[in-house]
Amino acid sequence: MSRLPVILISSLCLCASVVNLPAAEKKAEEQPKIDTRRGDAMIAKYFAAETARLERAVINEIKTKEDWLSRQDELRRQLYEMLGLDPLPERTPLEPVVTGTVDHAEFTVEKLHFQSRPRLYVTGNLYIPKNLKKPAPAVLYVCGHGNERKDGRSLGSKTKYQHHGAWLARQGYVCLILDTLQLAEIEGLHHGTYHKDMFWWYSRGYTPAGVEAWNGIRAIDYLQSRKEVDRERIGVTGRSGGGASSWWIAALDERIKAAVPVAGITDLRNHVVDGVIEGHCDCMFQVNTYGWDYGTVAALIAPRPLLLTNTDDDRIFPLDGVERVHWQTKKIYGLLGVHRALGLQISWGGHLDTQELQVAALRWFNLHLKKEDPKIEIAAVKMFEPEQLTVFDELPKDELNTSAHMWFVPTAPKPKVPADASEWATMRDAWRKNLEEKVFRGWSKNEKLAVDESRVRNQGVVASTLDVSAQDAFRLSSTLTFAKEGVAKSDVRLIVSDGADYDWSGYPSLEGSVGYFSPRGASAAIWDQTPKKQTQHQRRHMLLGQTLAGQQVHDIRRAIQALHTVPELKDAKVTLTAEGAMAALCVYAALYEPSVDRLVLKNMPASHMPPEAESKDFAPALLNVLKYLDLPQAVAMAAERATIEIQDDEPAKWHYPRDVAKALGWEGRVNVTKSK
């Protein structure tokens, strides 16, 4: 192999790389080791800066009552979208079935299920006070992460929280307690990213919080169908995970007239900066496309009565975050002139279902649903064996609960091959708009590219070292080598890798400068690479309205831009070369960098969606991308301006960009061959 001039780009701000020329002989494993402490400090600084930026958004922008009222509907629509509920699913028949009853002297419990969507079963218990003279106020109780099991079978979270239903019924309320998706008699999944590395959930725009919110909305439909229930007096509460579900349901559905989320709310700073996210599963979060802090969710309940309740030593809902959310929400309630409709109740203790919190919730409902404030003289106690409250003797074989993450949020329809350039332009522009507004919305805006350059000479070769800003917290260090100083290079080949020692001999040769680059988080020595930290870093990115992969696309763009600040490469054409996951990111980077005129891609995943739920064979997660397009469409978009060379064991996977190129007369733009 002939020796080529080399550009060496490694991620993060490091001392200038020491290059022993000829540089083409330098292997990746011979590069200086990166001190992970610096990388850890950088990612922490980045999270803090991005959190501070989002804390200033939305609520701080609201100055008057008119500001809020003009934005409220759009904000609610955004929340529906971030929960995977825009467009709203069809309200199909609930098909309710009562499978049995349990009798108590003061109330009756109906064991029931309904289908919030066809074959998406929701199991619950309906507590009905005896001797009702007229329709009663109702409370929807949504459960947290408690469960009862027997003989390997889940009995549902409703059995764990039964004391709330019984207590409310004894106080004169109809109470429907719902099982969660995961901790139900049919066990779905809440922990896709937390435990199973299913980061493609982000590509789909899926969160189980959306399922819980939808189940709650359909539960209100069911309550309003019951003759025992006063349709205009329905409240919602729940603790922990149920507390989070309470705020989704109340924020989205104005039929809720009073809400009490218990130990289910804190702010972005707690989750991202303080690391509280590490104690929470995926059902606690919307896919944060629009970069909200959580006071915005709570504020959408205004002007309806809202009581935030918590303990003072809750490690997964810390008091300081709860108070910050309260202050954000208080601003909106104040602008609307309903100060007394917002409350804050703090009890002492840890993450516990304390009696003080129970009493506060009941008193809030009494005040706002019954318009009374009687003395509460009985305690909430469990009265039944868990088996008495189970709904199914045999689980339905047609259930879709266990696969909800595979279908609940629809993906983009199969793309058509455009008939002409005009139709293509319409398709391309729509995809590009969605990429900018929904996928890469979290990219930094108007941040200037800063490049510091220094040069040294060694054995007749000039090396140029660049220190490049990717974002304020991240710097990219690069070293360029030229055979002769001042000789313009007509092309640059930039090899993008994840830090692995790839065999690049299978790629076509290219004359000109050659570089190696790893974006943030890709090299094994950048920051703490333990599985837990890698998982939680990706989850933090989502809470910032980003994904790690999306920010890596941003880094690749910055690296390309930095090359053109070198005088010899000012007008150079760029070839991006990559394998596997990095190849997919290069495709998206090429859409935004006009100097990229060729991509050489090896063994690139053909989709952001895995062929099977737990498969690892899928492209890196980009927020919401599968709602709008997939990799074959992105390749077709890149082929409009650049030549694409793909090496793949299954060339047929790339028929769509080849068909588009053929239909539009882009001869030779998309070339697919078997991997070597």
Q: In whole angstroms, give the CA distance from residue 539 to residue 537.
A: 5
Please compute the mean of the pLDDT values over residues 456-464 and round it to a whole number. 64
The region of weakest confidence among 58-62, 311-315, 370-374, 560-564 is: 560-564
- Checking if the pLDDT of 355 tops 80, the result is yes
Question: What's the pLDDT band for 461 if we cut at 50, 70, 90?
Answer: low
For the chain, what is the mean pLDDT?
Answer: 88
Question: Can you give the pLDDT at residue 566?
Answer: 80
Tens digits of per-residue pLDDT, 180-224?
A: 999 999 999 999 999 999 999 999 999 999 999 999 999 999 999
Cis amide prior to 87 (ω within 30 degrees): yes
Tens digits of per-residue pLDDT, 251-272?
A: 999 999 999 999 998 999 999 9
- Checking if the pLDDT of 23 tops 80, the result is no
The region of weakest confidence among 357-361, 477-481, 558-562 is: 477-481
- Checking if the pLDDT of 344 tops 70, the result is yes
Question: Can you give the pLDDT at residue 606?
Answer: 94
Whether the Cβ atoms of residue 264 and residue 315 lie closer than 8 Å to each other: no
- Checking if the pLDDT of 335 tops 60, the result is yes
- Checking if the pLDDT of 660 tops 60, the result is yes
Question: Where in the sequence of the chain do the CATH 3.40.50.1820 domains occur?
Answer: 6-33+429-673, 66-407
Q: Count of CB atoms within 10 A of residue 445's CB?
A: 6
Whether the Cβ atoms of residue 639 and residue 666 lie closer than 8 Å to each other: yes
Superfamily of domain 6-33+429-673: Alpha/Beta hydrolase fold, catalytic domain (3.40.50.1820)
Q: Count of CB atoms within 10 A of residue 388's CB?
A: 15
- Checking if the pLDDT of 15 tops 50, the result is no
Tens digits of per-residue pLDDT, 117-167?
A: 999 999 999 999 999 999 999 999 999 999 899 999 999 999 999 999 999
Please compute the mean of the pLDDT values over residues 77-98 and round it to a whole number. 97
Higher pLDDT, 672 or 474: 672
Question: Can you give the pLDDT at residue 70?
Answer: 97
Whether the Cβ atoms of residue 477 and residue 466 lie closer than 8 Å to each other: yes
Question: Can you give the pLDDT at residue 13?
Answer: 30
Q: Six-digit token pair at 330?
A: 């208080």
- Checking if the pLDDT of 353 tops 60, the result is yes
Q: In whole angstroms, give the CA distance from residue 284 to residue 189.
A: 13
Whether the Cβ atoms of residue 121 and residue 399 lie closer than 8 Å to each other: yes
Q: Counting runs of H as helices and runs of E as strands, what totals does the chain give? A: 19, 21
Three-state secondary-structure class, residue 249: helix
The region of weakest confidence among 77-86, 313-322, 472-481, 529-538 is: 472-481
- Checking if the pLDDT of 19 tops 50, the result is no
**How much is the pTM?**
0.92
Whether the Cβ atoms of residue 213 and residue 88 lie closer than 8 Å to each other: no
Tens digits of per-residue pLDDT, 411-437?
A: 999 999 999 999 999 999 999 999 999
Please compute the mean of the pLDDT values over residues 501-522 and round it to a whole number. 62
Question: What's the pLDDT band for 72 if we cut at 50, 70, 90?
Answer: very high
Question: Can you give the pLDDT at residue 517?
Answer: 79
Report the percentage of the chain scoring pLDDT > 70.
87
Superfamily of domain 66-407: Alpha/Beta hydrolase fold, catalytic domain (3.40.50.1820)
Largest CA distance in the chain: 98
Question: Can you give the pLDDT at residue 569?
Answer: 82
Question: Can you give the pLDDT at residue 473?
Answer: 61
Question: Can you give the pLDDT at residue 22?
Answer: 37
